[in-house]
Amino acid sequence: MDNLRITQSVGLKAVGIRGRNKPDDIKAVQISLNKLLCFISPTELLAVDGSLGPKPESSETVKAISRFQKKVLGMIRPDGTIDVNGKTHRKINEKLKARLDTSTSIAETLKHILRKKLEKYEGRVEHMYLDTRGFVTVGVGHMMSSATKAKQLSFIVVSSGAAASKEEIADEYALIKSKPYGKSYPAHTFKKYTKLKLSDSVINKVTNKHITSFEGELKRIYGATEFKAHPKNVKLALFDMIFNLGMSKLKNKYPKFNKYMKANDYKNAASESERKGIGSTRNLYVKNLLSKPYE
DSSP labels, the chain = --S---SS-EEGGGTTSTT-S-HHHHHHHHHHHHTTGGGSTTPPPPP-SS---S-GGG-HHHHHHHHHHHHTS--SS--SEE-TTSHHHHHHHHHHHHHHHTGGGGHHHHHHHHHHHHHHHH--EEEEEE-TTS-EEEETTEEESSHHHHTTS--EETTT-PBPPHHHHHHHHHHHHTS--STTS-GGGGGGG--EE--HHHHHHHHHHHHHHHHHHHHHHH-HHHHHHS-HHHHHHHHHHHHHH-HHHHHHH-HHHHHHHHTT-HHHHHHT---TTS-HHHHHHHHHHHHSTT-
Q: Which of 198, 215, 247 is the last residue of a domain?
A: 198
Asked if 191 and 208 sit in the same domain, the reply is no
pLDDT tens by residue, 30-68: 999 988 887 888 888 888 999 999 999 999 999 999 999
pLDDT at 107 over 80: no
Phi and psi of 11, rounded to 5°? Answer: 135, -165
Asked if 59 and 95 sit in the same domain, the reply is yes
**Residue 44 domain flag:** yes
Q: Count the alpha carbons within 13 Å of 156 in the hemisphere toward its beta carbon.
A: 12
Q: Which of 101, 134, 157 is the last residue of a domain?
A: 101
On whether the CB atoms of residues 29 and 4 are closer than 8 A, the answer is: yes
pLDDT tens by residue, 82-93: 999 999 999 999
**Residue 117 domain flag:** no
Q: Which domain holds residue 268?
A: 203-291
Q: Which of 183, 198, 213 is the last residue of a domain?
A: 198
Instruction: Report d(CA 172, CA 278) in Å as an integer.
Output: 28
**Residue 3 domain flag:** no
CB atoms within 10 A of CB 180: 9
**pLDDT confidence tier of residue 109, bands split at 50, 70 and 90:** confident
Q: How many domains does the chain have?
A: 3
Give the pLDDT score at 140. 93
The amino acid at 203: I
On whether the CB atoms of residues 225 and 2 are closer than 8 A, the answer is: yes
**Residue 111 domain flag:** no
Asked if 70 and 92 sit in the same domain, the reply is yes
**Residue 118 domain flag:** no
Residue 242: beta bridge partners?
A: none
Lowest-pLDDT range of 100-104, 121-125, 236-240: 100-104
**Residue 156 domain flag:** yes
Give the pLDDT score at 43. 82
Task: For the chain, give the longest Cα–Cα distance.
Answer: 80
**Residue 210 domain flag:** yes
pLDDT tens by residue, 126-183: 999 999 999 999 999 999 999 999 999 999 999 999 999 999 999 999 999 999 999 8
Asked if 189 and 212 sit in the same domain, the reply is no
Relative to beta strand 136-139, strand 142-144 is: antiparallel
